[in-house]
């Protein structure tokens, strides 16, 4: 049953049926599906003929399909595209094979779908949407959300949020091309950040203490030298302009400090103690101008 000759695959079942060996054929097919040893052509035949073989219509069909496509893709076989097209175009297939199936089984198979390298993110989401329609409780697997844990939101400037939104769209089109695995993983990270991002222009910054959207002046206790830092959003770091993200180590040390408070910072010359001398609101347009490569902004912030 591992043949990939479409004519032979359609003739073999007929021969078994004509000779009264239906039970034997069904046993062979059940074992082949269970062991994921079926060929692409056999899976195409089985999917199209599933109404005549109801005992074979089980959720295990989907992992068997994925295994066949993966095997063909590894062997650079063009026939995998026929099975792939059938899976995407037959919109009743998933609902048919999962009919009456426990959600735990569906969860395991969705996990298998998430891990397969043969589909890009958009295709996976399309297939998972069909499963979620049957099992709404699996939605968190598709979104990556964890219902039991509420993720902390990020505070970012409108300019950086807008630019990251554009980047997210670009990744969806580039993911199917060069370095697909790397790009898709990066896209997923960006989408996760965007999902939890909260845009702001920092116009309501609390200047009674160092907070996001403020400029703080620090005086080194020993030398009396003063330095100013602007504390902004998660993606707004710009060390050359003394703009720091509130998520950096220095940002976390400064947050909440008030005039007169002291803080010890790690400098190029070792640890130094600074006193907060002034806190004022940062200008609305102080956020860094978005650039093409946000890897710098992220590493800085």
- 209 in a domain, yes or no? no
pLDDT band at 259 (very low <50, low <70, confident <90, very high): very high
* 6-21 tens-digit pLDDT: 677 778 888 888 888 9
Per-residue pLDDT reduced to its tens digit, 205-224 = 889 999 999 999 999 999 99
Both 97 and 160 in one domain: the answer is: no
- Contacts with 225 (C-beta within 8 Å, 6 or more apart), sequence order: 219
The Cα 255–Cα 154 span in angstroms is: 15
138 and 57 in a common domain: yes
Three-state DSSP state, 234: coil
| Residue 67 maps to a domain | yes
Q: Report yes or no on 41 lying in a domain.
A: yes
**Nearest alpha carbon to residue 33 among 66, 6, 5:** 66
Burial of 246 (0-12, 13-18, 19+ CB in 10 A): buried
Say whether both 80 and 53 belong to one domain.
yes
Are residue 122 and residue 98 in the same domain, yes or no? Answer: yes
Residue at 103 is within a domain: yes
Q: In the numeric block, which tokens belong to residue 8?
A: 């032979």
Judged against a pLDDT cut of 90, whether residue 174 lies above it is answered with no
| Residues 45 and 101 placed together within one structural domain of the fold | yes
Closest alpha carbon to 214 in 201, 229, 227: 229
Overall domain count for the chain: 3
Residues 24 and 139 both lie in one domain:
yes
- Residue 297: the pLDDT is 32
Residue at which a domain ends, from 143, 170, 188: 143
Query: Are 165 and 266 within one domain?
Result: no
User: Within this chain, do residues 181 and 116 fall inside the same structural domain, yes or no?
Assistant: no
The pLDDT-based confidence of 71 (bands split at 50, 70, 90) is confident
Mean of pLDDT over the chain: 79
Same domain (yes/no): 236, 117: no
Q: What is the CATH number of the domain that holds 226?
A: 3.10.50.30
The model carries a pTM of 0.46
Judge whether 207 lies within some domain.
Answer: no
Q: Which of 143, 165, 188 is the last residue of a domain?
A: 143
Q: Are residue 10 and residue 138 in the same domain, yes or no?
A: yes
The answer to the question of residue 205 being in a domain is: no
Which of 97, 120, 143 terminates a domain? The answer is 143
Task: Give whole-number Cα distances, 60 to 9, 22, 57, 97, 169, in Å.
Answer: 20, 21, 8, 8, 34
CB 219 within 8 A of CB 260: no
For residue 236, what pLDDT is reported?
80
Non-local CB neighbours of 101 within 8 Å, separated by 6+ positions: 58, 59
Beta strand pairing call for 154-157 and 197-200: parallel
User: Are 255 and 278 within 8 A, CB to CB?
Assistant: no
pLDDT band at 145 (very low <50, low <70, confident <90, very high): very low
- Which residue range(s) make up the domain with 232? 214-300
**pLDDT value, residue 39:** 87
The mean pLDDT value for 33-54 works out to: 89
Q: Give dist(CA 97, CA 91) in Å, integer.
A: 11
What integer is the mean pLDDT of 168-184? Answer: 53
* pLDDT above 70: percentage of residues in the chain: 74
148 found inside a domain: no
Asked if 160 and 276 sit in the same domain, the reply is: no
Model confidence over 131-140: pLDDT tens digits? 999 999 988 8
Give the DSSP letter string of 25-70: HHHHHHHHHHTT---HHHHHHHHHTGGG-GGG-STTHHHHHHHHHH
Check whether residue 228 and residue 256 sit in a common domain.
Answer: yes
């Amino acid at each position: 049953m591992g043949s990939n000759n479409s004519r032979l695959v359609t003739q073999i079942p007929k021969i078994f049926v004509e000779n009264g060996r239906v039970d034997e054929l069904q046993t062979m097919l059940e074992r082949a599906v269970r062991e994921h040893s079926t060929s692409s052509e056999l899976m195409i035949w089985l999917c199209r003929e599933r109404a005549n073989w109801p005992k074979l219509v089980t959720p295990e069909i989907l992992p068997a399909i994925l295994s066949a496509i993966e095997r063909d893709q590894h062997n650079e076989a063009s026939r995998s595209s026929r099975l792939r097209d059938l899976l995407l175009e037959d919109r009743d297939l998933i609902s048919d094979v999962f009919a009456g199936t426990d959600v735990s089984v569906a969860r395991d198979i969705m996990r298998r779908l998430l891990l397969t390298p043969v589909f890009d993110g958009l295709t996976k989401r399309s297939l998972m949407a069909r499963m979620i329609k049957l099992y709404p409780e699996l939605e968190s697997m598709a979104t990556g959300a964890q219902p039991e844990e509420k993720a902390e939101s990020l505070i970012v400037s409108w300019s950086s949020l807008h630019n990251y939104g554009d980047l997210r769209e670009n990744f969806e089109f580039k993911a199917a091309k060069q370095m697909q695995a790397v790009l898709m993983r990066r896209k997923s990270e960006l989408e996760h950040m965007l999902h939890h991002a909260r845009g702001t222009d920092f116009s309501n910054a609390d200047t009674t203490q160092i907070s996001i959207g403020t400029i703080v002046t620090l005086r080194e206790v020993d030398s009396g030298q003063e330095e100013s830092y602007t504390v902004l959003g998660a993606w707004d770091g710009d060390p050359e302009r003394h703009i720091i993200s509130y998520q950096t180590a220095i940002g976390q040390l400064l947050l909440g400090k008030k005039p007169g408070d002291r803080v010890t910072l790690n400098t190029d010359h070792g640890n130094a103690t600074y006193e907060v001398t002034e806190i004022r609101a940062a200008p609305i347009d102080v956020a860094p101008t978005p650039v093409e490569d946000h890897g710098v902004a992220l590493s800085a912030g």
